[in-house]
Amino acid sequence: METLRRIASALSDIVIDLDGVVYKGTKLIDGADAAIKMFRQNGKRVHFLTNSSAKGRVAVAERLCSLGVDCFAREVMTSATASAIYLQSVGYRNIFVIGEESLRNEIREYRIEVTDNPGKADALLVGLDSQFSYQKLADAMICLSNGCKFVICNRDASYPVDNGQRLPGCGPIVAAVEVASGRNADVDIGKPNKFMLDALLGDNYCSRNIAIVGDGLTSDMALAARIGSAGIYIDDSAKCACRHDDFFMFRSLYEFSAWLCRAL
């Protein structure tokens, strides 16, 4: 933990994952709101970075506010909003979307057409889809056999919900499309790739002054390692806070915030 103590005062920005760190399902995790207040009171900028494709940044900011966490939409990035920003930046016009209606709406917010005709699409976007079906898989195959760009929101295997259970994530749906079509995704928007972080913070940040906080090893901690930032791994089943080879482990966001305040 000594290394983290040394860099605590240099940290300017704390980038926090949401599912499993701030909330589980519809419930705020104990102390997460107090932790975020403590970071801010100690002069740290707080941002929220989620692989979730189920909501855009405005809806997530509203949800955080309703749970008692003050935040502006500009402090949030989701893989739904980041996918829309990406698709707009490369100029795709007709997108076939596997995902929730909220993902389609986020794409339309950025003035991009969402098409129901897989033969007409120039890109296929795959996000988490609770109504995923054999028919949608067949439509995705038509898109990809026509040479569509293949864009995915993330490869997360699962995500936590209220009752301690986990539900299937976007990754299993992506895997089904990849196996059926024989093509690998061309672009993966979500963590551990840094596209979402760049979309959130802009070009002008220094990785050494950032902490990436999350409960995902292959997403959050892999992103921290990739950009050379401090990784703060949250594991509520851990026995104690400790240092691992590539990251620092705490049992909750609150425990990390209390530790950080003492270190400053």
Write out the residues near Mg ion by the rule CB under 5 A: 17, 19-20, 215
CB of 22 to Mg ion, least distance (A): 9
Residues 132-144, buried b or exposed e (16+ Cβ, 10 A)?
Answer: beeebbebbbbbb
Please name the residue that has the structure tokens 């109504």.
131
CB of 19 to Mg ion, least distance (A): 4
Q: Closest CB to Mg ion among 56 and 214? A: 214
Q: Closest CB to Mg ion among 13 and 215? A: 215
**How far out from the chain centre does Cα 50 lie?**
2
CB of 4 to Mg ion, least distance (A): 20
CB of 21 to Mg ion, least distance (A): 6
Name the residue with the smallest CB distance to Mg ion: 20
| Cα–Cα separations (whole angstroms), residue 84 to 108, 171, 178, 235, 238 | 8, 19, 21, 31, 37
**Which helix (DSSP H) or strand (DSSP E) does residue 152 occupy?**
strand 149-152
Q: Closest CB to Mg ion among 118 and 169? A: 169
| Whole-number Å distance between alpha carbons of 175 and 132 | 13
CB of 150 to Mg ion, least distance (A): 24
Q: Closest CB to Mg ion among 121 and 152? A: 152
Q: Closest CB to Mg ion among 31 and 180? A: 31
Q: Closest CB to Mg ion among 122 and 215? A: 215
| Cα–Cα separations (whole angstroms), residue 88 to 42, 71, 185, 241 | 37, 25, 18, 42
Query: Which amino acid does the sequence have at 240?
Result: C
CB of 142 to Mg ion, least distance (A): 33
User: How are beta strands 45-50 and 94-98 bridged, if at all?
Assistant: unpaired
